[in-house]
């Protein structure tokens, strides 16, 4: 804030005609023969006195001097402006407005004063008033750069109110000033899409493709999504096909296709597009991991079958053979789903993860549990023991698994001990359930096996 005071005090010094070379050195005399100008002389003096305090980062002292200067000579525009800016930062908007009006009374065309006035209106959530002031600033600005800058402020305000027609008007002003521009055309296309104006979107996209043909596939995505939103499915599909002709790896185009087919319940087409993205080396690795995780959690809500999930993951693993965490998550989730039939495949996947990280507790637990589900209880006991040896902190799910496995190898007392540990951890963490481990299910097992 102090630096802003310094920059704005230059305005005061220029307005009151105090040379910068004498600031903080030579004081403006308090005595003068011209009594009529005495308030202005005091104003100049106090403003001059404020300068060294600002350089010493003593903002409150400078503020006091400027307040005194304003009280003595209210028509002093520079002090009004700085004080108004201070009250604006303090969110005392009524005081800020009053001071800005006083400053504007001296110089109604000062862009800094008008900018502050518009900012105060914007902070008061009065978008129409702010836009009116910014409109005036655009009119008064001399350079195209400044006009475009303030038109951008107007656009941002209007975008928060959803005033699409007025936003188009602002974008047209920008085009009139600087000619056709990719960013402006993209904004116009988005607005036309929100207005469900197909012809407007088509016109913008055609122009964008003419301006930048190398990125035509990106621009066509906007058009395809608009067609899809308006249920113009044949045109949407035709446009998506055109996108893939131009760029078979078009990420945003394929992303749009995923949404398009999912909304229409075509899981076969959704799966086809997704697999093409997963096996494409140009598809972002982070996206692959994210969507695979989403499918694993929500495949039922997405109307995907276990076979669909299996197909998707097997295709992914055919390319990404070293993504061991994804491999582990798939193997464990499918194993506990109760629907997946090929448990031997899952056990092999889990074994691969352990080849990469033999002391990973999560991987060890997964292998132990799949071995348990396949009836290999001794093997399961061996690996669950290894998992517990490397465990960083108490894990109720791991304890639950250990109890179930020990029970199958004939150690009922060991099973009871680990089930009880799982209950204690759940109580300590105030969690009734973690994944498939619940206090209720644990209590049932403990009651059934206690003598």
Write down the pTM of the prediction. 0.70
Q: Kindly state the average pLDDT of the residues 145-170.
A: 94
Q: Kindly state the average pLDDT of the residues 266-282.
A: 94
Query: In 10 A of CB 213, how many CB atoms?
Result: 11
For residue 8, is pLDDT > 50? Answer: no
* 450 — pLDDT class (breaks 50, 70, 90): confident
φ, ψ for residue 100, nearest 5 deg = -65, -40
For residue 157, is pLDDT > 90? Answer: yes
- Joined tokens for residue 82: 């700085």
Q: Kindly state the average pLDDT of the residues 56-72.
A: 61
Residue 352 lies in a domain: no
For residue 62, is pLDDT > 90? Answer: no
CA distance 312 to 72: 78
Cβ partners under 8 Å of residue 162, min gap 6: none
Residue 21 lies in a domain: yes
Q: Kindly state the average pLDDT of the residues 444-451.
A: 84
User: Which whole-number Å values give the CA distances from 191 to 157, 168, 173, 207, in the listed order?
Assistant: 15, 7, 15, 16
User: Which whole-number Å values give the CA distances from 345 to 217, 348, 349, in the listed order?
Assistant: 40, 5, 6
For residue 347, is pLDDT > 70? Answer: yes
Q: What is the pLDDT of residue 427?
A: 85
Q: What is the pLDDT of residues 184-227, one digit of tens each?
A: 999 999 999 999 999 999 999 999 999 999 999 999 999 999 99
Q: What is the pLDDT of residue 5?
A: 42
Cross-strand pairs, 433: 438
Residue 219 lies in a domain: no
- DSSP assignment of 70-85 equals HHH-TT-HHHHHHHHH
Q: What is the pLDDT of residue 312?
A: 96
Please give the mean pLDDT across all residues of the chain. Answer: 85
Task: Identify the CATH number of the domain in which residue 92 sits.
Answer: 1.25.40
Domain extent at residue 38: 1-108
Residue 287 lies in a domain: no
Residue 171 lies in a domain: no
Q: Kindly state the average pLDDT of the residues 94-122.
A: 90
For residue 6, is pLDDT > 90? Answer: no
Q: What is the pLDDT of residues 221-253, one digit of tens each?
A: 999 999 999 999 999 999 999 999 999 999 999
Weakest-pLDDT range from 252-266, 300-314, 429-443: 429-443
Q: What is the pLDDT of residues 20-58, one digit of tens each?
A: 333 333 333 334 344 445 665 555 656 666 656 555 554
* 449 — pLDDT class (breaks 50, 70, 90): confident
Between 325 and 439, the higher pLDDT residue: 325
Residue 384 lies in a domain: no
Residue 356 lies in a domain: no
> Percent of the chain scored above 70 by pLDDT?
81
- DSSP assignment of 327-369 equals HHHHHHHHHHHS----HHHHHHHHHHHHHH-TT-HHHHHHHHH
Q: What is the pLDDT of residue 433?
A: 60
Query: In 10 A of CB 84, how many CB atoms?
Result: 28
User: What domain count does the chain have?
Assistant: 1
Q: In this structure, are residues 351 and 381 in contact, taking their beta carbons and an 8 Å threshold?
A: no
């Amino acid at each position: 804030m102090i630096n802003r005071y310094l920059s704005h005090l230059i305005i005061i010094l220029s307005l009151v005609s105090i040379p910068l070379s004498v600031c903080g050195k030579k004081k403006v005399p308090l005595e003068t023969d011209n009594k009529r100008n005495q308030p202005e002389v005091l104003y100049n003096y106090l403003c001059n006195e404020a300068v060294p305090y600002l350089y010493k980062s003593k903002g409150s002292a400078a503020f006091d001097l400027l307040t005194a200067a304003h009280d003595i000579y209210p028509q002093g525009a520079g002090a009004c402006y700085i004080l108004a800016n201070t009250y604006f930062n303090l969110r005392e908007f009524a005081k800020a407005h009053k001071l800005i009006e006083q400053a504007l009374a001296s110089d109604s065309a000062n862009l800094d004063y008008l900018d502050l006035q518009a900012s105060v209106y914007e902070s008061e959530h009065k978008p129409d008033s702010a836009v009116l002031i910014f409109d005036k600033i655009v009119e008064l600005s001399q350079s195209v750069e400044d006009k475009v800058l303030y038109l951008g402020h107007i656009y941002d305000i209007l975008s928060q109110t959803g005033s699409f027609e007025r936003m188009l008007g602002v974008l047209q002003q920008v085009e009139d000033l600087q000619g056709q521009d990719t960013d402006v055309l993209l904004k116009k296309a988005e607005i036309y899409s929100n207005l469900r104006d197909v012809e407007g979107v088509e016109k913008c996209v055609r122009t964008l493709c003419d301006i930048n043909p190398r990125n035509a596939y990106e621009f066509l995505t906007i058009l395809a999504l608009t067609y899809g939103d308006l249920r113009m499915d044949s045109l949407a599909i035709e446009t998506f096909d055109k996108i893939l002709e131009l760029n078979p790896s078009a990420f945003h185009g394929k992303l749009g296709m995923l949404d398009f087919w999912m909304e229409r319940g075509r899981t076969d087409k959704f799966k086809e597009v997704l697999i093409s993205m997963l096996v494409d080396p140009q598809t972002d690795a982070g996206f692959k991991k994210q969507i695979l995780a989403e499918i694993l959690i929500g495949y039922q809500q997405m109307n995907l079958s276990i076979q669909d999930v299996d197909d998707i993951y097997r295709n992914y693993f055919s390319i990404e053979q070293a993504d061991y965490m994804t491999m582990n998550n798939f193997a464990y989730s499918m194993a506990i789903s109760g629907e997946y039939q090929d448990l031997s495949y899952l056990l092999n996947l889990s074994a691969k993860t352990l080849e990469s990280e033999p002391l990973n507790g999560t991987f060890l637990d997964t292998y132990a549990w799949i071995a348990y589900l396949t009836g290999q209880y001794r093997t399961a006991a061996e690996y669950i023991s290894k998992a517990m040896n490397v465990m960083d902190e108490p894990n109720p799910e791991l304890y639950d698994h250990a109890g179930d496995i020990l029970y199958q190898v004939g150690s009922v007392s060991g099973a009871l001990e680990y089930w009880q540990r799982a209950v204690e951890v759940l109580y300590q963490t105030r969690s009734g359930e973690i994944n498939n481990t619940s206090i209720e299910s644990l209590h049932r097992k403990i009651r059934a096996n206690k003598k």
